[in-house]
Amino acid sequence: MAVPKNKVSKSKTNSRFANWRVKTPGLVECPQCHELKKSHQVCPKCGYYDGELVINKEEDK
């Protein structure tokens, strides 16, 4: 049975959970429309991914 050899302090225990924070998503520029989009995702503005049209986006005029 696993038993700790020494007591783990409260600060050591709490420091394990100190880095649980929301990180900003990795945004890159779309090569087609030059808008910011998530990396490795279809662009929500133009519908292109890796130079190919994946989703047909009709512009409202």
Q: 60 pLDDT exceeds 70? A: no
Report the pLDDT value the prediction gives residue 61, as an integer from 0 to 100.
45
- Residue 59 is predicted with a pLDDT of 58
- Diameter of the chain measured on Cα atoms: 71
Whether 42 contacts 49, CB under 8 Å: yes
Mean pLDDT of 3-11: 93
Q: How many CB atoms are located within 10 Å of the residue 33 CB?
A: 13
- Residue 27 has a pLDDT of 94
Closest CA to 48 of 27, 31, 61: 31
Residues 34 and 12: their CA atoms lie apart, in Å, by 45
- Average of pLDDT values for 6-18? 92
Q: What is the pLDDT of residues 17-54, one digit of tens each?
A: 888 888 888 899 999 999 999 999 999 999 999 989 99
